[in-house]
Amino acid sequence: MRQRLNHVVCLSLMRDAEATDGIDYTLYARIRLDSMFFAPLPPSVLESALVPWTAVVPAGDAWGGNPNNLGVCDRTLIGRWKAFSTDVYGWKAFFRRNSSHLSGRSLVGETYQRAILEHAKVSIVRVKMAYATLSVDGKVRYAEHLLNALDVYGPELLRDYPGVCPCNALASTSCEGNVSKRCMNHIQTSAMKAADPGFCKLSRLCKCCN
């Protein structure tokens, strides 16, 4: 809830700036302050965000729900006024009345984000972006972010930003023939379990297991 209230304050400041300058913004965007972008946004991000009632979010972070109702990344969102204001103020609808969007035991921040947007009939577009959430030591907090960023940036990312690898080797042979032993002790979404079980591929790319 604290993050939601921060979004309200942030949008209020943007609206004040619009009023002061006499110009309405075409697009609105928010990102978490602990995020780092390694490359410019793909052109498809702005193309999709310009479509009315469309919210563009990073691919990944599909936590909670079930395979047919997975969560939506809540760390970044880009869209026009209708989509963005829904993201900022949409939570109020769930305090006024119960909603089937929020039923079940799988409610997490990401499923809450999806519920807010779907309740207002906002289309959700997921795009892979070369970004990651960082810890105070400069390493990525979620290995999934780094794996997705590599798909956009390419393998040169680890050469250009070697300090971001979240290595946490359990043994010199972690992941070698035994995916139950991880070099990166990070939880995984179902999509990441399928793409890189135990983040073993990423561990080798980061040279965590050497």
Q: What is the pLDDT of residues 151-168, one digit of tens each?
A: 999 999 999 998 999 886
Within this chain, do residues 27 and 13 fall inside the same structural domain, yes or no?
A: yes
Whether residue 210 lies inside any domain: the answer is no
Least confident of 2-6, 173-177, 188-192: 173-177
Q: Clarify whether residues 140 and 198 are in a common domain.
A: yes
Same domain, 113 and 71: yes
Lowest mean pLDDT among 32-36, 43-47, 145-149, 178-182: 178-182
More confident position, 54 or 195: 54
Q: How confident is the model at residue 177 (pLDDT cuts 50, 70, 90)?
A: low
What percentage of the chain reaches a pLDDT higher than 70? Answer: 83
140 and 119 in a common domain: no
Domain count, the chain: 2
Q: Is residue 25 part of a domain?
A: yes
**Can you give the pLDDT at residue 191?**
85
| 56 and 154 belong to one structural domain | no
Average pLDDT of the segment spanning 56-82: 88
In this structure, the answer to whether residues 111 and 138 fall within a common structural domain is no
- Of residues 124 and 64, the one with the higher pLDDT is 124
| Domain end among 127, 152, 187 | 127
95 Cβ neighbours under 8 A, 6+ residues apart: none
pLDDT category at 208 given cuts 50, 70, 90 is: confident
Is 170 a residue whose pLDDT tops 60? no
Residue 115 inside a domain? The answer is yes
Instruction: Please check whether residue 141 lies inside any domain of the structure.
Output: yes
Given 87, 105, 127, which residue is the final one in a domain?
127
Domain stops at, among 127, 159, 184: 127
Domain hosting residue 198, numbered range: 131-205
108: its two tokens: 């997490």
C-alpha to C-alpha distance for 28 and 8, rounded to whole angstroms: 13
Q: Are residues 96 and 82 in the same domain?
A: yes
What's the mean pLDDT in 78-87? 95
Question: How remote is the C-alpha of 162 from its chain's centroid?
Answer: 21
- Between 9 and 104, where is the model more confident? 9
Q: Measure the CA–CA gap between 190 and 78, rounded to whole angstroms.
A: 25
* Within-domain flag for 149: yes
118 with 145, same domain?
Answer: no
Distance CA 21, CA 146 (A): 38
- Structural domain contains residue 119: yes
* Cα distance between residue 165 and residue 149, in whole Å: 12
Average pLDDT, the chain: 85
pTM of the predicted protein model: 0.86
N-term to C-term CA, the chain = 42
Examine the domain organization and report whether 106 and 141 are in the same domain. no
